[in-house]
Amino acid sequence: MNACAEISRQTGALVLAIDHFGKDESKGTRGTSAKEASADAVLALTDKEEQPDGSAIASMKVRKLRNGPTGSVTYYRLPEVGIGVDDDGDAITTCTVEWDLVGQLKAKAAPKARPPKVAKHISIMMQALGRVTLPTPTEELRKIVYEIHGGTDGACRKAFNEGLKDCDLERKETPEGEVIEHLDRGF
């Protein structure tokens, strides 16, 4: 872990160390406990969990967060995406992370409870943001949101505008045109 800290110090980059649990997850990662003790954060990615409606969603739990709260859970899916074909004609695939904030609310709610519409706007915007780098042209992000939403123009427009607001994003004019970026709250 000292090597990771030194790389981070010299480059200013975030350094992630990836490990796995032993047979008993409650005992932490395999090997010395010093690894988790010296880490600023420990995120545990778990297998798919059965939901009240019978579907399965994977989760990321905050096991440790130096100077912050622990125990929160974020759900996600890993849809397979084709990225090409190899020399033998076989598909080359990878996966993308789709943060499932709607599923997270469903997991906490009683079965068949409908999550608030704002959660849908946030989920759609978070999925769209996973496909771009901010700042990004407004029309590019709008096109992705409309594609994910799949509803009428009016419903898609509302999801886009509410998603901007709920995800602390703002429109900004640049010489190249309008872009979307994170809202600067001056903190």
82 within a domain of the structure (yes/no): no
What is the Cα–Cα distance from 137 to 149, expressed in whole angstroms?
19
> Does residue 179 sit within a domain?
yes
Res. 146 pLDDT band, cuts 50 70 90: very high
pLDDT tens for 46-96 read: 776 666 655 557 778 888 888 777 777 777 877 778 888 999 988 899 888
Nearest Cα to 131, choosing from 81, 182, 185, 84?
A: 81
User: How far is it, in rounded angstroms, from Cα 180 to Cα 1?
Assistant: 37
pLDDT greater at residue 116 or residue 182 = 182
Name the token pair of 26.
Answer: 């409650």
Inter-residue contact 95 to 80 (CB < 8 Å): yes
Q: How many domains does the chain have?
A: 2
Would you state the pLDDT for residue 157?
92
Give the torsion sign (CA, 146, 151, 157, 158). Answer: negative
Mean pLDDT score, 21-38: 72
Does 55 reside within a domain?
A: no
pLDDT of residue 114: 41
Answer whether residue 123 is part of any domain.
yes
Q: Is residue 81 part of a domain?
A: no
pLDDT digits (tens, 9 = 90+) for 2-14: 788 888 889 988 8
What local confidence, expressed as pLDDT, does residue 144 receive?
Answer: 93
Convert the pLDDT of each residue in 106-141 to its tens digit.
555 444 444 455 567 788 888 888 888 888 899 999
Is residue 152 within 8 Å of residue 143, measured between CB atoms?
Answer: no
* pLDDT of amino acid 142: 93
Full domain range(s) for residue 180: 116-187
List strand residue ranges (DSSP E) for 51-103, in order.
56-65, 73-77, 80-85, 91-95, 98-99
Residue 127 lies in a domain: yes
pLDDT in tens, 149-173: 988 999 999 889 888 887 778 888 8
pLDDT given at position 118 = 56
Tell me the β-bridge partners of 103. none
What's this model's pTM, rounded to 2 decimal places? 0.45
Domain with residue 169: its CATH number is: 1.10.10
